[in-house]
Amino acid sequence: MRTLQKTRFALRAAVLCALPTAVALGGVTPAQAADSVTVLRLTAAAGEPSVQVRYRCDALTGLDAVQVGVSDTQGGGVFQGTAAAVCDGTSHVVRVRTSRAAGPPLVRGHECVVSASLGMASLGMFAPAVSSGATKTAR
């Protein structure tokens, strides 16, 4: 069992180390100056938040996912979620549904710190290229 875990870890590490090199050799930069991500709204339904995010990225960057993290500053809950991104040079709005990673469910009216990142998702790992954060009240 330990050998399998070590092999998985080594494979993930190798992929993460090789990814920037592959991108550089392909003549593509991980993030262009025009790439952006912005947190728009935080809503709480059934104790699990969803975050509305606006993003923009070019097709050549290879970015393919939006990841969000929510930290409830009053209740102590921590939530995270990932959604697919469409990178075609135009702005898109996506709603990212999160699941609870720790702590109690989110309550409407609580103030939360929300972070959003645009990046590459591969083999269950996420490599952020552009990030932003905001303090939002859960609706």
82-119 pLDDT, tens digit per residue, is 999 999 999 999 999 999 999 999 999 999 999 999 99
99 near 81, Cβ under 8 Å? yes
| CA neighbor of 104 nearest in space, from 78, 130, 133 | 78
Radius of gyration for the alpha carbons in the chain, expressed in angstroms and rounded:
17
User: Distances from the Cα of 91 to the Cαs of 53, 64, 66, 76, 78, in angstroms?
Assistant: 10, 14, 13, 33, 28
Number of H helices, E strands in the chain: 1, 8
pLDDT tens string 64-74: 999 999 999 99
Higher pLDDT, 59 or 136: 136
